[in-house]
């Protein structure tokens, strides 16, 4: 995409009310725009990142057999009354209608997925299976703040698994754990993300969270110095030693939750009476698990984990573009014509080779402004075409995560090396 066409623009200053580095850079770069407290629109660059995160998560959920569906945001009140959460879940947005049904806005989807699969589950032969969706969730968070880290409206992947017995749930649960770490690896935060024992909140007695350590986080975790298992501070008292390796030494860190998985067992199959007929002819309740990742928060967490004082440094697989191609202006119009021609050709060639290119073709911006923007946007590879580089029949290449830059002959500018 040509940067001269991009309607969003970078800004020198971030709003004063944005506390986290990720929020400041995401807004300054024109990735997202605040609409209200905890409510952000995705601009073209931000949506590209979010869509890449979505693709990774969908691939990893498909790989463990998840069947993708799309449930609804308008959820009839009666299902929430069945579980008791119409009154107990305090973050629920409610639409009370004078005529006809009232609705909850989907904050989580146990209340929809259980009656939905109930229409298709009769026998043990129909089990196990899992369904997932990537959908907008709504939660009336009082403490909406810190950019994308705590939102009232956000994109979330929620997967639900259905089993004939707990042994089946246990097997799938371990698979899901592995799939989650693959997601964190591909989004560039695996090194900072720890499997964490936590309380089950409104869902279950215990759960596992995936916590990414960052000073912008609102949680505190205790990481076992021996095996790396973490325990959320809220239940740390119950675990004087690590339940995995019995080590008693922990490191305390601030962290943000970037995923969670729960063994629901019969917590939601019971109120809806989601049963199946087992091999022995007995009616039994279906055993369930639930597995969530907030995509929007993950995007904020990645920006929090990968930035320096100049801007974001996107991990390659979720960067909005692969290459930031920059043509520098010249006071000599004929020279600038040559620079533009060389850059135009490279823009075409790089895209033809399958690379996604943001092309800074803006004539009115100085080299300094362009480099600042490039650092702010954080695209992994930067290529500069200028009077100086063309004098050596070359372009200058630099990776965002390195200070090294090198000249590459135009004739050897193989996209695979850029």
Which C-beta is closer to its own copies: that of 176 or that of 408? 176
Cβ closer to its own copies: 62 or 174? 62
User: What distance in Å separates the CA atoms of residue 28 and residue 17, rounded to the nearest whole number?
Assistant: 13
- CA 111, 116, 122, 123 dihedral sign is negative
State the minimum distance, in angstroms, from the CB of residue 147 to its own copies: 14
Element (H, E) at 277: strand 275-277
Give the residue with the Cβ less far from its own copies, 37 or 367: 37
- Enumerate the β-bridge partners of residue 222: 231, 252
In the bound complex, what is the minimum distance in angstroms from residue 392's beta carbon to its own copies? 33
Q: Which residues of 254-268 are buried (b: 16+ CB within 10 A; e: fewer)?
A: ebbbbbbbbbbbebb
Residue 373: what are its φ and ψ, rounded to 5°? -60, -40
Minimum CB separation of residue 349 from its own copies in Å reads 21
Q: Give the footprint of its own copies on this chain (CB under 8 A).
A: 5-9, 30, 33, 35-37, 39-44, 47, 50, 65, 67-76, 93-95, 97, 100-101, 103, 105, 112, 116-117, 119-121, 126, 129, 131, 136, 138, 140, 152-153
Three-state DSSP state, 386 = coil
Alpha-carbon 277 to chain mean position: 38
Q: How far apart are CA 95 and CA 27, in angstroms?
A: 31
Residue whose C-alpha is closest to residue 188's, from 20, 51, 306, 58: 306
Nearer to its own copies, 31 or 180 (CB): 31
Task: Report in angstroms how near the CB of residue 272 gets to its own copies at its nearest.
Answer: 14
How do strand 193-199 and strand 230-232 relate by DSSP bridges? Answer: parallel
**Shortest CB 6 distance to its own copies, Å:** 7
Closest CB to its own copies among residues 155, 193: 155
Partners of residue 382 on adjacent β-strands = 324, 398
Residue among 102 and 199 whose Cβ is closer to its own copies: 102
Q: Where are the alpha helices (DSSP H) in 102-145?
A: 110-118
**CB 229, min distance to its own copies, A:** 34
Give the relative orientation of helices 44-63 and 295-305 as an angle to the nearest 10 degrees: 110
Strand partners, 145: 150
Q: Of 167 and 363, which CB lies nearer to its own copies in the complex structure?
A: 363
The minimum distance between CB 354 and its own copies, in angstroms, equals: 17
């Amino acid at each position: 995409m040509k940067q001269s066409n991009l309607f969003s623009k970078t800004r020198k200053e971030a709003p004063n009310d944005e506390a986290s580095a990720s929020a400041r850079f995401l807004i300054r770069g024109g990735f997202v725009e605040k609409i209200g407290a905890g409510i952000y629109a995705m601009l073209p660059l931000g949506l590209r990142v979010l869509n890449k995160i979505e693709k990774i998560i969908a691939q990893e959920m498909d790989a463990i057999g998840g069947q993708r569906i799309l449930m609804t945001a308008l959820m009839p009140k009666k299902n929430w009354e069945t579980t008791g959460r119409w009154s107990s879940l305090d973050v629920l947005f409610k639409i009370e209608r004078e005529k006809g049904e009232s609705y909850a806005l989907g904050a989580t989807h146990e209340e929809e997925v259980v009656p939905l699969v109930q229409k298709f589950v009769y026998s043990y032969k129909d089990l196990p299976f899992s369904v997932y969706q990537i959908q907008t969730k709504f939660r009336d968070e009082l403490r909406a703040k810190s950019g994308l880290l705590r939102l009232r409206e956000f994109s979330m992947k929620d997967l639900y698994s259905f089993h004939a017995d707990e042994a089946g749930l246990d097997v799938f649960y371990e698979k899901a754990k592995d799939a989650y770490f693959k997601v964190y690896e591909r989004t560039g935060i695996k090194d900072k993300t720890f499997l964490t024992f936590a309380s089950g909140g409104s869902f279950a007695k215990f759960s596992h969270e995936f916590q990414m350590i960052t000073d912008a986080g609102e949680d505190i975790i205790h990481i076992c110095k021996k095996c790396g298992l973490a325990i959320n501070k809220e239940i740390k008292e119950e675990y004087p030693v690590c339940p995995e390796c019995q080590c008693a030494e922990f490191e305390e860190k601030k962290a943000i939750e970037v995923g969670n998985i729960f063994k629901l067992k019969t917590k939601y199959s019971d109120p809806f009476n989601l049963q199946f007929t087992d091999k022995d002819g007995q009616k039994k309740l279906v055993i369930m698990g639930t597995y969530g990742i907030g995509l929007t928060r993950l995007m904020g967490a990645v920006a929090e984990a990968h930035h320096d004082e100049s801007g974001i440094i996107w991990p390659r697989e979720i960067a909005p573009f692969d290459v930031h191609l920059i043509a520098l202006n010249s006071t000599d119009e004929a020279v600038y014509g040559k620079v533009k021609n060389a850059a135009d050709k490279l823009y075409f060639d790089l895209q033809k080779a399958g690379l996604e290119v943001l092309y800074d073709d803006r004539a009115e911006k100085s080299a300094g402004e362009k480099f600042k923007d490039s650092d702010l946007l954080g695209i992994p590879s930067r290529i500069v075409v200028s009077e100086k580089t063309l004098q050596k029949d070359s372009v200058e290449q630099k990776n965002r995560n390195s200070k090294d830059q090198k000249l590459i002959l135009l004739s050897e500018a193989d996209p695979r090396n850029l």
